[in-house]
Amino acid sequence: MRAAAFVTPLLCLSLLAGCANLAPDYARPESPVPVTFDGQPAVAPAVGELDWQRVITNARLKKTIDVALANNRNLRIAALNIEKARAQYQIEDAALYPAVSATVGGNSARYQGSITRKYSAGLGITSYEIDFFGRLNNLKEAALQNFLSTGATQRSVRTSLIAETANAWLTLAASQDLLKLARETLESRNTTLELTRKRQALGGASLLTVAQAQSAAETARGDVARYLALVEQARNALNLLAGTTLPADCLPAAENGVGASALALVDVPAGLSSDVLLRRPDIVSAEHALIGSNASIGAARAAFFPSITLTGSIGTASAGLDTLFEAGTRAWTFVPTLNLPIFNAGKLSASLSAAEVTRDIQVATYEKTVQTAFREVADALAERGTLVERMDAQKAEVDAYATSLRLSTERYRSGADSYLTVLDSQRSLYTAQKSLIALQLTEQSNRMTLFKALGGE
């Protein structure tokens, strides 16, 4: 009966805990962006499969991304942050339940020549707060939303890692293409230089023509050295993202440069609704942070109200160890404490104001995240809309300069034109070929940018 007298009030008060919640009702902010990306009538936000393994078609690139997902340190840190947030949530959740501990103790005292001893054993509860106004529940909710936000952030880091690794791999492929082009150009110009020297020895060319041919060859030689360094730098950047030194079978193949499509086009229908952005992990993370700030307001409001904490124990006590568990030695204590805030120099008001301002900051952060996401998708779509025409124009330019070089070379050999015309044609063709490689890199990178901007995983 005495045990029941201790436990029954505790159970009754526990049932009443959390009967009030002072947190504001959550409502998702209105979207601060247009309904669609192109002004067309909205269609359902379905953009096909945004699984990276479907978007990426090159086997070597897939293998590289697998290595990066297993070894990248930023992704590892993000995963550890999830574990930390999970532990913090468990801490806040544990505060909702009484902490029970077993105690065994002894006490000896001497007074006026007399020695007294007392021994005890029992179970105790220390400072258990009854959550009448939802303070603990709101702290738990804030910790839960922080955990969910951290999880979404980890997915965002993962998506960014996939995109960055793909772009670094494509950059390496483009650098290899530029190096290959520079070597071919150097070889061609060295051949031309040797022929020009022979013609000069026979009186068929001037020293000026030899100097011009040598200048063109030296320019190509300098480009070879420069692109060698760029290839090494691109490989180092890719290894950093991968978190390890990549094997040769992960790197771009020499015969399949950036012009060979390594990525599939992401299907984006006309009138795509901007609601598709709500799947992006950075927006999901921002919304969880906003919901958590609402819960923090509820906890700050609850601090203005009285709180009740319980301390109690139940067990046995006696003057001797040999009689500690005999009949008649049972003992219990039940100490409820009421805490009523009266004066705290504005601390509670300041805490509530800070929580409300934090909520307003999170609203602005959420809206800014949505706007940034909309711009990223819109920019990628705008660039994508011109890439086909730009690629066609650049290829046509390369073909035109190749024809120009062939004709100017024939005219020079027939004596109808100077070598300067040949040199100008060589430079123009070389520049156009480099521009084509850069544009091919832009086209492939645009596919990955759109994948990331739409929240691919």
CATH topology of domain 1-20+98-130+306-340: Outer membrane efflux proteins (OEP) (2.20.200)
106: which 2 tokens? 């002894």
**For the domain bounded by 31-96+133-305+347-453, which CATH number is listed?**
1.20.1600.10
pLDDT in tens, the chain (457 residues): 444 444 455 445 454 555 578 899 999 999 899 988 877 777 765 555 688 998 999 999 999 999 999 999 999 999 999 999 999 889 888 888 888 888 887 787 877 777 777 877 778 887 788 888 888 999 999 999 999 999 999 999 999 999 999 999 999 999 999 999 999 999 999 998 998 898 888 888 889 989 989 999 999 999 999 999 999 999 999 999 999 999 999 999 977 788 888 888 887 877 888 888 888 999 999 999 999 999 999 999 999 988 888 888 888 877 766 676 777 778 888 888 888 888 888 999 999 999 999 999 999 999 999 999 999 999 999 999 899 999 999 999 999 999 999 999 999 888 888 888 988 999 999 999 999 999 999 999 999 999 999 998 8
Q: In the chain, what are the domain boundaries?
A: 1-20+98-130+306-340, 31-96+133-305+347-453
- Whether the domain at 1-20+98-130+306-340 and the domain at 31-96+133-305+347-453 fall into the same CATH topology: no
DSSP string, 371-392: HHHHHHHHHHHHHHHHHHHHHH
Instruction: Choose among 451, 267, 444, 443: nearest CA to 376.
Output: 451
Q: CB within 8 A of 433, min separation 6: which ones?
A: 181, 398
Burial class (CB in 10 A: 0-12, 13-18, 19+), 402: middle
**In degrees, to the nearest 5, what angle opens at C-alpha 379 toward C-alphas 376 and 383?**
140
Q: What is the pTM of this model?
A: 0.85
Burial class (CB in 10 A: 0-12, 13-18, 19+), 356: middle
Alpha-carbon gap, residue 285 to 281, rounded angstroms: 6
